[in-house]
Each structure stands twice: as C-alpha cells, then as structure tokens.
Structure 1
C-alpha cells in the first residue's frame, strides 16, 4: 500500500507558481543493514535557505513524516525527473527519518550540513561546532579533555569524539543545575 504526496508553495510566496515536489511512498519489507549514520548540524558558513525554500521544506517535512512507516526497514519512493519519467528507489526508513530532520531544520531557516560519524575535523571546524575559539580548543586538546591525533603537523578530531565531548559537557551542566536546584530547595529559595 502506498501514499502519494504533493507539496506546493502557498499562493503569493513564489514568483514561480509551479514549484512543487511529488513523492509516492510505499512499504517495502526488504532488509537493510550496516547503513552509515550521519549527524545534521547547522553551518553558518553556507547560504541560508530562502523564504520559499524554508516554506517548501516545512511542508515536505510535515507531509513526509506523516507517511513514513516506522515499522518497516525500507520504503519505496517514486521520483519523477524533468522529462516525466518515474524512477522507483528503496530507501531505508532511518534515511527517511534523517531526511525529515533535514527538512525540518531547513523549514526553520537553518542551513544543514551532514557530517559522517567517522569524519575527521580540523581544529577550526571543531572549535566552530563547540562555539569556542580555536585557541580555547587547542587548550582543551593540550589538557587531554578532548582526544585527537596528528596528520602530519595538523591536529585532527574525530566527529564522534567531539559529539561525545559535547554530551559529556551537557551532562555535567545539567548535573550542576540539579545540584543548584537542590541547594535552592534546601535553603528555601526555590518554588514551593
């Protein structure tokens, strides 16, 4: 059983009233394994989506998320090229979920960049993702807070290691906030 989707920009949003995307999605019971995982991240170095692109992405995200069969491992999608020829492809549901997240971010006006988990980042790229200066990142590397390796005379940080560091820092921040909240309650400074 399949679903047909058509996404069209609202009237007056686009100079070109023929902007639309059509997808036909159907269940597929084929098994897929070992797919590469990737993380979506905002990138301020790229061009942000236009208003038209953001509106279209938002509509596509909502429509696609409504028909993804989360119980299947893959779904068939039929894409129509410029000549009107239909091409049927099977896509893992995990990739469709990632695509929905990408569309959601674009719909919110964010630029999205996919980075494979095994990617090696330069110190500047890693600093940008942590929203810190490069010298501060170098200090973290020298203190051993973040693992890295050298390629020639350059330091490289694995994206997966950077994500683990970000999770660790976030957990430490949340624990500190919980401790402050408990202290406030003990001193009668909190909400009752």
Structure 2
C-alpha cells in the first residue's frame, strides 16, 4: 500500500461514515478476540499488541478525533519537533545546541528523529513527576 494513499486524519476530521465504520470495527475486534487477546483474520493470527493498536486507532476515529500514524524513524523539522514538545522553535534549537537533543543536518537544515523527541519528552515528564513528588513530600512535612 502506498503511504501517500493512506487517510490522514491529522489533516481533517473523520466523516460520519468513517466514525460509524470505526465504531463497528472496534466492536467487531473486541467481540472476536481470543482468550489470549489475539485476533485471527482469515489465515493470519494478529498478536495482542497489534490488536490493541488497531482497537485504539478505531476508538480514536470512532470518537471523531484526528489521528496520524508516524513511524519512529521519521525525521522531523525543528518546527515539528518544537510543536510536539510544546516549546518554541528557538528553545528547541537551544536544546540541540546544548546536546540535550540530537539532530542530523540535511544540507543547512536540522532534522530531529521522532524517536529522540519522544525519548526527551519522556525524560522531561519523568523529571517533572519526580519534582512534583518531592514538592508534595516537603508540603506534607510542613503540615
């Protein structure tokens, strides 16, 4: 299947027909799962993790929300990476210059691997959770 022929719900909302068909597909998946969570379609047995992925995808579309599937190997522009991290592009450039985030140069342009952006985001979230837990401990000690 050609990647450019895939529906990109990141650019538009699903139609009412797509919402209904996604809801039906999600229900069919959930009622046809085997005891171990797998699903057999024809001669092919899908692993529980693939079934979960399909079910999650259909669930999102059934709610009428937008979705885009992107491989982890995709290279992002600095603006796309900044948008994903919810930071400004100049701040992202500082992260790259400080070595907190790796990039590759394509000509004169920086490209950041999606995998690296998601790894950085997970570390940042973990750091925030740790800091919040420490603040809660301090607040409890003060009471």
TM-score range, shorter chain: 0.7 to 0.9
1:76 corresponds to which residue?
40
> When the two structures are superposed, what TM-score results if normalisation uses the length of structure 1?
0.61
Deviation at 1:75, TM superposition (A): 4.1
> When the two structures are superposed, what TM-score results if normalisation uses the length of structure 2?
0.79
Distance 1:100 1:109 in 2: 14
1:92 corresponds to which residue?
46
CA-based RMSD: 2.4
Give SS of 2:69's match.
strand
Structure 1 unaligned regions, length at least 5: 1-42, 78-87
Counterpart of 1:147 (choices 78, 95, 102) is: 102
1:58 aligns with 2:23: yes
* More strand by percentage: 1
The structure number with the bigger radius of gyration is: 1
* More helix by percentage: 2
Name the CA shift for 1:125/1:91 in 2 (closer, same or farther; >3 Å): farther
Give SS of 1:116's match.
coil
Counterpart of 2:83 (choices 116, 128, 152) is: 128
Give SS of 1:156's match.
strand
8 Å Cα contact 2:9-2:67 kept in structure 1? no
8 Å Cα contact 1:48-1:110 kept in structure 2? yes
1:160 corresponds to which residue?
115
Give the number of aligned pairs. 135
